[in-house]
Amino acid sequence: MREHKRAKMWTTHPYKWGQKYSLWPIHFCTGCGAIEIPPTMLAPYDASRFGMGPMASPRQANLLLLTGYLTRKTLKYVIRTYEQMLTPRYVISFGSCPIDGGLYYTSYNTINHLEWYLPVDVWIAGCMPRPEAFLMGVNRLMEEIENGTADGYKRYEENIDYYRRNQERTLGKKFLEELKQVEWLT
Partner 1 sequence: MTIGLQIAWMISLPVVMILLVAVVFTGISLKVTARIDRRYGPPIYQPVIDLVKLVSLKTNVSHGVIFDWGLLVAIAGSSVALLMIPMGGIHPLSGSGDLLVILYLMIFASVGLGLSAGASENPNASMGVSRKLMLGLGYEVPFILILLAMMTYHHTTSLVALVAAQRATGVLGALRFPLSAVAAILIMPALQGVRPFDFVTAPQEVASGPMVELGGKYLALMVIEQSLHTAVILSLMVDLFFGGATNLGIFILKMTGLFLFGVLVNAVYPRFRVEQALRYCWRWPTWFALGGLIMAMVTKGG
Partner 2 sequence: MLESIVIIGLVAPFVVGLSWRWPRLRAVLAGVAALYPLIALSVLYGRTIATAYARIPFLGTELSLRLTPLSWLFGIGIATIGLFGLIYSFSYMKGKQQLGLYYLLYLLVNAGMIGVVLSGDLITFYIMWEIMSVATFLSIGLARGQALPAGMKYILFSIGGSTAMLLAIVSLYITYGTVNIAALSAAMSGASVGYALSILVLFSVAFGIKNAVWPFHAWLPDAYAESVTPFSAVLSGMLTRMGVYGFLLVMYGMIGLPLVQRMTYGPVGYQIVLAWIAGITIVFGVFTAVLHDDAKRLLSWSSIGHGGYMILGLLLAGTLNLSGGIFHVINYAMSVSLLFFVVGAVEYRTGTRDLTQLGGLKERMPVTFIAALIGVLGMIGVPLTSGFVSKWLIYKGLILGGHPFLAFAALIGTWGTILYGYKLIHNVFLGRMPARFEEVEEVPWGMRIPMIALAGLIVLFGILPGIPLRIISLIETSFGVSALPTAIVGAPSGVGELNLLNILGGILAVAIAMYAIFSPTARARRAARTDTYTAGAPTPISGYHYVSHFYDPAERIIRPYLTDWCGVFYSWVGRQANAFFNGARKVYSGNINTYALWIVILLGVFVTMNLLGWRP
**Residues making contact with partner 1 (CB under 8 A):** 3, 6-7, 10, 14-15, 17-19, 21-22, 27, 42-44, 46, 48-51, 54-57, 59-60, 62, 86-88
C-alpha dihedral, 185 to 174 to 69 to 57, nearest 10°: 50
* Residue 144's binding partner out of partner 2, partner 1, none, with CB under 5 to 8 Å set by partner kind: none
Give the nearer residue to partner 2 in terms of CB position, either 161 or 177.
Answer: 177
Cβ 57 to partner 2 shortest distance, Å = 5
Q: Is 36 helix (H, G, I), strand (E, B) or coil?
A: helix
* Residue 81's binding partner out of partner 2, partner 1, none, with CB under 5 to 8 Å set by partner kind: partner 2
Show contacts with partner 2 in window 90-109 (CB under 8 A): none
* Residue 76's binding partner out of partner 2, partner 1, none, with CB under 5 to 8 Å set by partner kind: partner 2
Cβ 14 to partner 1 shortest distance, Å = 6
Dist. CA 144–CA 135, nearest whole Å? 14
Dist. CA 163–CA 160, nearest whole Å? 5
**Backbone phi, then psi, for 125, in 5-degree steps?**
-85, 160
* Residue 139's binding partner out of partner 2, partner 1, none, with CB under 5 to 8 Å set by partner kind: none
Give the nearer residue to partner 2 in terms of CB position, either 28 or 163.
Answer: 28
Show contacts with partner 2 in window 38-67 (CB under 8 A): 57-59
CB count in 10 Å sphere of residue 165: 12
* Residue 101's binding partner out of partner 1, partner 2, none, with CB under 5 to 8 Å set by partner kind: none
CB count in 10 Å sphere of residue 126: 15
Cβ 91 to partner 1 shortest distance, Å = 16
Q: Is 37 helix (H, G, I), strand (E, B) or coil?
A: helix
DSSP, res 29: -
Can you list the positions of beta strands (E) in the chain?
63-67, 90-94, 122-124
Q: Judge contact between 183 and 82, C-beta under 8 A.
A: no
Under the rule (CB under 8 A), what is the footprint of partner 2? 28, 57-59, 76-78, 80-81, 84, 178, 181-182, 184
